[in-house]
Amino acid sequence: MRVLVAAALEPFLRETEVPPDLFVELLPEEAPVPTGDYAGILPLLTRRIGPAELARLPALRVIANYAVGFDNVDVGAARARGVAVSNTPDVLTEATAELTWALILATARRLGEGERLVRRGAWTGWAPTQLLGMGLAGKVLGLVGAGRIGQEVGRRAPAFGMRVVYWSRAPRSAWERDVGARYLERDRVFAEADVVSIHLALAPETVGLVGAGALALMRPSAILVNTTRGGVVDEDALVAALAAGRIRGAGLDVYAHEPQIPARLRELENVVLLPHLGSATEEARRGMWRLAWQDLLRGVRGEPLLNPVSAS
């Protein structure tokens, strides 16, 4: 059986025992999906798998997506052709939660501005009012979305002396009790939080959800952090809010059109920008590979997937 694996994953593939009946072809990111009798494909999140790509793969049985998100895959179209789809949940939860807190701290304490000051040789010494930031103790963390990652972010908040409010499609009662979190309507989370952290999957109903209206609800002293999907935030509205000082700052790990980042966003001092590092730990990325590879093998053999996803 022939399968396609994203070429960027070759280092993990070299460490993996490949069954003798499986022939693996590496697919460079810049190359289109080829036409052929491939039984499976293991793509990155950046690889679109829609009706056109599926039509080139008439023998396809499984798409083992190397990501917890799967907005790059037309799951409905895949299901219509009898193709199973899997993702890699759980193994990147802690890594992404840690990265979220790194952005919260870096944005609140203006670490990016401080590092740039030192690197360009402009630091003239300690001063009592230099780069004053926002302390976290006694502040409110607002979570917009409380899935696996959002909940892990919330669990770390008490260690910083923060209270937690959140909005989710459904209340998370057990987690609420563990963390002492309060469920609020979404607009109230934006209005009451000192730190708003976004944890929503990208879907038609969430595209641009954090726009001018939501940002206008935030306190001028508040910060916004996004480690989920760039398309959830209206970048033009965010630039306008940051440039006008309507919010204190922002920390971003994801963007609407990666790797392109609007020049106006890059020019702002009150935003911390990272190159999509959410799950970038050795442990998480190897764990993602193990899950995706296992489901690739199971899918081509017609076995039930360990981490199937549904069109809903």
Q: Would you put residue 78 in left (φ > 0), alpha (ψ -120 to 50) or beta?
A: alpha
152 assigned to active site: no
248 assigned to active site: no
CA 283 to chain centre: 17
The answer to whether 172 and 146 are in contact (CB under 8 A) is yes
Q: Find the catalytic residue in 109, 219, 258, 286.
A: 258
257 assigned to active site: no
For residue 250, list its beta bridge partners: 224, 271
Half-sphere exposure of 269 (CA within 13 A, CB side): 10
Residue corresponding to tokens 């002492």: 180
The answer to whether 194 and 170 are in contact (CB under 8 A) is no
Q: Find the catalytic residue in 109, 182, 246, 276.
A: 276
Q: Would you put residue 238 in left (φ > 0), alpha (ψ -120 to 50) or beta?
A: alpha
Tokens encoding 299? 């899918």
Residue corresponding to tokens 């952290």: 197
Q: Find the catalytic residue in 61, 172, 229, 248.
A: 229
Contacts of 299 (CB under 8 A, 6+ apart): 39, 40, 61, 62, 63, 64, 84, 86, 305
Amino acid at 155: R
Q: Which helix (H) or strand (E) holds 273?
A: strand 271-273
Rg (CA), the chain: 21
Residues recognised as catalytic: 229, 258, 276
